[in-house]
Structure 1
Amino acid sequence: MSLSFREHYVAVIGANGVGLSRCDARGRTWLGSAGFIADRQSAPALALDSLQRLLAEHIHRRARLSVLFSSHYSRFGLIPWSEHITTPAELQAYASACFDDTFGKSSEAWALSLSPENAGLPRIAVALPQALLNHLRTLVKELGLQLVSVQPYLMAAFNRFQKSFGDRDFLFVVAEPGRSTLLLAREGRWSAVRSLRIADSDAALASMIARESELHGLNGDKPVDLFVHAPARHNDGPMILGVQTLELPVVEGDVQDPLHLMARAVN
């Protein structure tokens, strides 16, 4: 690694704010956040404008940057296995067709990424607006930074808590403010992924988990472990019967900004 890229920054792009932290030999330092008010259409542009100001204010030399996107900006889908797919290009086209079936055809271009799975297994796919990614790459390049990772917060949280799931069947819910996204794994394979707008309350979460459990037959003879992670509710975590709450570690006296807590999902 080049010495000029030793410092590593983590940016979190939330539904109504952007945050930035620095990771170096001294540990992790929260640099601050910037909020914005926007509707769904204008949020991406305002988010990146806010990110650009934060980066320009706090980073004055070459460094690496990882970016986490809230599920508010993402689409998720389960891509079934097909023995007829033989090349990466065919897989991308197939996944795109699956997204069109789920969300309808869009005039907006979307960039698709798929989870690596063994042959015969379905994949989780995530889509981010291509224009959003292009804008991000442009502003990072203009600031002289190295973009090393772009991923939805759902994936960062799953990777961070993966050891908690073990080899068991599980339903994992990431409850961000205003939107909850779930991953269901059964018999060693992905079974469902879904992202829903719901209220920020235990009652709403419990109702959603109950509906999904009924929909996917999770109340039968083979029980599924239930987990929820609510990064904005560290001091008031969800308390739902039969559901284990997963929390990221917090340093005593640290800033309790939800975006800061979300940045801690990146090791």
Structure 2
Amino acid sequence: MSLSFRDHYVAVIGANGVGLSRCDALGRKWLGSAGFIADRQGTPTLALDTLQRLLGEHVKGRARLTVLLSSHYSRFGLIPWSEHIHTPDELQAYASAVFEDTFGKSPEPWALSLSPESAGMPRIAVGLPQALLTQLREMVKARSLRLVSVQPYLMSAFNRFQKSFGNRDFLFVVAEPGRSTLLLAREGRWSAVRSLRIADSDAALGSMIARESELHGLNGDKPVDLFVHAPARHHDAPQILGVQTLELPSGESDIQDPLHIMAAAVN
């Protein structure tokens, strides 16, 4: 790897703010965050303007950049297996059709990526606004940075906690402020993915988990392990009966910014 790209920065784009940390041989250092007043249509532009400002303040010279996106910017869908799909282009067209059927036809294009699965298995698809991705890549290129990846926070958190799930059936809930997203795996395959606007209080989370358990028949003879990760509640972790709370380590315990906690999902 070129030494000119030795420094690695992790940006977290949240619903109402952007945070930035730096990773190097000495560890991870939180550089700070900046908020913005979000509205439904202008949020991606405000978020990228805020990221631009943070990068200008803290990043000097060439570096690598990983960007984590809140679930507020993402769409998730379960793509069933089809024996009629034979090429990557056919798979993309099929996933786009499933998304359109689920979310309706969108005036703005969405970029879809799918989880790699074995033949016969359903896939998780993630949709991100194409305009946001294009503007982000242009910004990064203009600053001579290398964009390592753009990941929904749900995927980063799942990868970080994957060992906790083992080979068991599980329901994993990522409770960001104002939106919770869940992944359900049964018998070694994806069974559901769903994103909802709810508070991340114990009462709201408990009710949601109970509803989803009833909907998917999780209270039967084959129990499913339940997990919740709430990055904004590092000092007030959820306490829900029968649900295990998963937390990321905070290297700088005096910092309570949830974007700081979310950045720790990147190893």
Q: In the alignment, which residue of structure 1 is the partner of 2:103?
A: 103
1:146-194 per-residue CA deviation (whole Å, 9 max, x = no partner) reads 0011010000000000000000000000000000000000000000000
Offset at residue 254 of structure 1 (A): 4.2
Q: Give per-residue Cα distances to partners, 1:44-76, cap 9 Å, x unaligned.
A: 100000000000111111000000000000000
Distance 1:68 1:26 in 2: 22
1:38: Cα distance to partner? Answer: 1.3
For these two proteins, the number of residue pairs brought into alignment is 267
Residue in 2 aligned with 1:86?
86
Gaps of 5+ in 2: none
Shift of 1:39: 1.1
What does 1:176-255 correspond to in 2, within 5 Å? Answer: 176-251=176-251, 253-255=253-255
> CA deviation digits over 1:30-49, x for unaligned, max 9?
00100011112111100000
2:166 matched residue in structure 1? 166
Contact 2:170/2:226 (CA < 8 Å) preserved in 1? yes
* Matched residue type, 1:144: S
Q: Give 1:139's aligned amino acid.
A: M
Shift of 1:256: 1.8
1:33 & 1:20 partners in 2: Cα distance?
6
Q: TM-score, normalization: structure 1?
A: 0.99
* Structure 1: stretches of 5+ with no match in the other structure: none
Give the whole-Å Cα distance in 2 for the aligned partners of 1:254 and 1:120: 47
When normalised by structure 2's length, the TM-score is 0.99
Aligned match of 1:14: 14
Whole-Å Cα distance in 1 between the matches of residues 40 and 235 of structure 2? 28
Match of 2:122 in 1: 122
Distance in 1 (CA, whole Å) between partners of 2:50 and 2:250 is: 25
CA RMSD after TM alignment: 0.7
The letter for the 1-side match of 2:88 is P
Q: Which amino acid aligns with 2:132?
A: L
Which residue of structure 2 lines up, in the alignment, with residue 39 of structure 1? 39
Amino acid at match of 2:46: L
Aligned-partner residue type, residue 235 of structure 1: H
Amino acid at match of 2:232: A
Runs of 4+ in 1 over 2 A off after TM superposition: 251-254
Match of 2:133 in 1: 133
C-alpha contact (below 8 Å) 2:200/2:230 kept by paired residues: no
What are the residue-to-residue correspondences of 1:45-64 with 2, within 5 Å? Answer: 45-64=45-64
In 1, Cα distance between equivalents of 2:120 and 2:254? 45
What's the CA shift string for 1:113-166, capped at 9, x where partnerless? 000000000000000000000000000011110001101000000000000000
What SS does the corresponding residue of 1:148 show, helix, strand or coil?
strand
Distance 1:119 1:57 in 2: 47
Which whole-Å CA distance do the structure 2 matches of 1:131 and 1:148 have between them?
18
C-alpha separation between the residues in 2 aligned to 1:123 and 1:135?
28
Identity of aligned residues (%): 84
> Is the CA contact (8 Å cut-off) linking 2:137 and 2:147 kept in structure 1?
yes
Following superposition, the deviation at residue 252 of structure 1 comes to: 5.2
